[in-house]
Every structure is written in C-alpha cells, then in structure tokens.
Amino acid sequence: MRIHILGICGTFMAGIACLAKQLGHEVSGCDESVYPPMSTQLQEQGIKLVQGFAAQQLDPEPDIVIVGNAMTRGKAVVEAMLDRGIPYTSGPQWLAEHVLQGRWVLAVAGTHGKTTTSSMLAWVLDRAKLTPGFLIGGIPENFHVSARLGDAPFFVIEADEYDSAFFDKRSKFIHYRPRTLILNNLEYDHADIFPDLAAIQRQFHHLIRTVPNNGLVVAPQADKAIATVLEQGCWTPIEYIGDDDTHWRVELNEQDGSHFTVFCEEKNMGEVCWQLLGMHNVYNALVTIAAARHAGVPVNVSIEALTSFKNVKRRLELIGNVAGIRVYDDFAHHPTAVASTLAGLRAHVGNERIIAVLEFGSYSMRNDVHGDAFAPALARADEVILAQLKSSEHAPDLQAMVAKFSQPTQVCHDVNQLVTNLAKQVQPGDHILIMSNTGFGGVHAKLLDALTSIHQQEMAQ
C-alpha cells in the first residue's frame, strides 16, 4: 500500500511513518519545517520527504493519506485530498487500527516526562527480553529510533493529549485503549488546543474510562489535578507514588538524583545508580518500575535496566564540551519542566556557573500563557538569556520580564547575535543550558562552532 503522510516530521508522525515502513508499506510524506533528529531518522529509513504542502505531491494518488494534527483546512494538499476523495485518516486512528489491535498497550500520559518515561519503560521491557514495540516522541539513545513494531503483546506509547487531526478534535490518547496507564503529572499547557485546565482534565478522564478493570493506573499521590480526574471515576486499580504512605517511594542517596533507593510497600527493592539527574527523572523511574511490574517484569530486573538507560536526545543532553565549556540541549518549555531541569543540573554541578538560554518558541510561551512563572523557574541559573525569534499577537514583553529576574538577564531576537555574544563571555567550567522545543535557528551547532573557533585561535597564539 502507498501511504502519504502530511506533517511527517513531527515527532509522532515520524514514528507513524517508521511503523508503516516496517509493516511493508511504501511511505512518503511532506512537511514545512524539516530538521533533525526526525528528518535524519526518516531519511535513514528510506522514506521520501517532500518540502511544503503543494497539491502536486498527491500525483500519483496514494492509497491513503495519514493527516497530522498540524494540518489545517486551506493548505493546498489538504484541499486536493478532500476534493479528489482520497481516503484519509488521522495518525492515532491508523495506529490503533493497524498496530495496537490485540496488543497490551502501556501508555504514558501527562504534561511533563512522557518521552523520557516512555523510553525508560521500553528499555526496561526490552532488557527483560520482551522485545516491545514502541512509539516515542523523541529518539531514545538506547534504541536510536523513535518507533518499532516489536513482538506481541507489549507496545509502549507516549500518550499525547494534543488533538488527533483537524477532523477529529479528541486527544490522541483516546485511540490507544491502554491496559497499563502512567499519569505522570497534569498542568495547564497547549493553549492553542485547550481553553483551560478543566478541558484537559476532561480528556484525561475520557482516557481513564478506556482502561480495563484488570489494568493498572500509576499516578503521583500529590498531584491535585490528577486527583480531580480520578475523583470523577476510575474503574481500575491505582498504584500511587510519592511519600511514606504511598505504594511506591524513594530515598535519595545523592541529592542530584543520580543514585536512589526504591521502596515498594516499605520494602527495600534495591538501588538505582544511573546517568540521569533531577527528582523529575527519579519519579519517572519509579512509575516505570511500577508499570513494568504490571507487565510481569520483576523489580530487580527493572532496576538493573535503568542503570544502563541513556535517556532521550534533547533531554538535558550534553552535546559538546569545548575547552571545559559544556553545552546542553533540553526540550523544556513549560515553567515546571524548566525548574526541574535546572534543579537537577544545579545539584550535579554545585557552584559552577550555569547560563540558561530559554527560547519562547511554543505556542503557549509565545502567547504569554505562563505569565511571570519563568523568573522563579530560572532562579537556579547564574545568568539568563531570553530568546524570541517569532512574535505573536499576544507575545510577552521580554524586556519588561527582565525586571522580574534577580540575576543578570538579557533578551535576544537574533540567533547569530546570541551566539556571538555568548561565545565571547563564557569561561572554562561554565555550563550553557539551551532550552527550546524547536530547532532554535540551529543555535546549538552554531554555538559549538563558535566556541571551537575561539579555542583554536587561543591555542594558536
């Protein structure tokens, strides 16, 4: 079957493309913004990419079009698809019908940590020799691909609350019918889709309604927004994580989260010593262990697997070290995620200088949804750069925001200028944390090139 995918370079749709290719279909797709790591993965899979949304790419006609949720009416390729009566479906619906039927689905939902936790869970099941399938909104270092079919019955999926398509406004995860469900956390986000937190909670409760009685829900006890969802009705056993009175808890052996002890019903189950940092990742590990046990994986096997877990690209990923100046790439774009990432890095590096570079790239950030929350979220950084490359009607006034910060803070609207200024001021021992959910104008490679050039010039003198 010939499948053409609209919006193929989104993390979810790229995974759909890979699964379709592994099923033996001829796969092609188009997108407007094409950048790594997804574009690289697609090319390695032999999937043809088309730049833009021209109607001509439907010649010759594919057997079916899978429509990404970034597609809207008015785009030439969408109008041509509808006018010509070409069969079409959404990514989540195609996945449900062609991959998830008959499988034990382990879904990871929540505002933060979905990609990392999904990657952990897939890795744990893999180390337990269960060879799970998975679809993850990033590229786990342990697998180097974001999706694979795997062996029945287990399939791990990052359960996104975004809508399915322009013709199906339900959250994607409604299609997945999980038996094991992780609810990491729940906050207001995605202002382009949801008017308020209650609207997101409604979708989460619809998800809860699909989990069978013989399934399992794993959730944090202290999350009030999730508690509200569960109070609306839950017909599935729940295992809570948190403090002493919960089913699962941890004790830190190192304050940066790199070493901790796992307890289940107050029984010491073993210690995790791994590469990741931060309490958010400690809790990601805890829900992973609980979910894996539901699928039959002993806790000691999960703990052993986590010691060799390598995280996901763009999750506090150390992408370069030039003359003692370390540069990190992180996907954080919500105040809570920003604060968690910085807390983990600060606990790890102690008093060494951290320069945080935050791009206001997401819809919510560009439309000032989070208000003044970023100043306290960035409090652990020694210096801050706020970057805004795209404006919007309700864009925040970053210059006015600077007054909320207690540390040196500047605003930048040009990537090249940002790189030039930053490369000149950093010193050996500094940590540059770049946080963005976009390609950020290629700032990561440009900064590493600039730092390398300066270092080579200094060595030549």
Output the pLDDT for position 314.
79
Of 271, 90, 243, residue with least CA distance to 170:
90
For the record, the structure tokens of 39 come out as: 């574009």
- Measured distance CA(11)–CA(7) in Å, rounded: 10
Whether residue 381 contacts residue 457, with contact meaning beta carbons closer than 8 Å, is answered with: no
Output the pLDDT for position 44.
87
Domains contained in the chain, CATH given:
2-91 (3.40.50.720), 102-306 (3.40.1190.10), 317-460 (3.90.190.20)
Peptide bond into 153 cis (omega under 30): yes
Output the pLDDT for position 190.
76
User: Can you tell me whether residue 369 is helix, strand or coil?
Assistant: coil
Q: Please provide the DSSP assignment of 372-436 as one string.
A: TTHHHHTTT-SEEEEE-SS--TT---HHHHHTT-SS-EEEES-HHHHHHHHHHH--TT-EEEEE-
Average pLDDT per consecutive 10 residues, the chain (461 residues; last block may be shorter): 95 94 96 76 88 95 96 97 98 98 97 92 97 92 91 96 95 97 89 88 96 97 94 96 88 92 95 90 95 98 95 81 92 83 88 93 78 87 90 78 89 91 92 89 91 85 74
| β-strand partners of 134 | 148, 156
Q: Given the DSSP bridges, would you call strands 267-273 and 259-264 parallel, antiparallel or unpaired?
A: antiparallel
Alpha carbon 167 to its chain's center: 24
For the record, the structure tokens of 394 come out as: 């309700």
Output the pLDDT for position 35.
66
Give the other-Cβ count within 10 Å of 82's Cβ: 13
Output the pLDDT for position 439.
81
Output the pLDDT for position 330.
87
Output the pLDDT for position 322.
93
Report the alpha-carbon angle 211-93-68, nearest 5.
Answer: 125
Output the pLDDT for position 170.
94
Whether residue 14 contacts residue 146, with contact meaning beta carbons closer than 8 Å, is answered with: yes
Of 357, 343, 226, 322, residue with least CA distance to 279:
343
Instruction: Please name the amino acid found at residue 35.
Output: Y
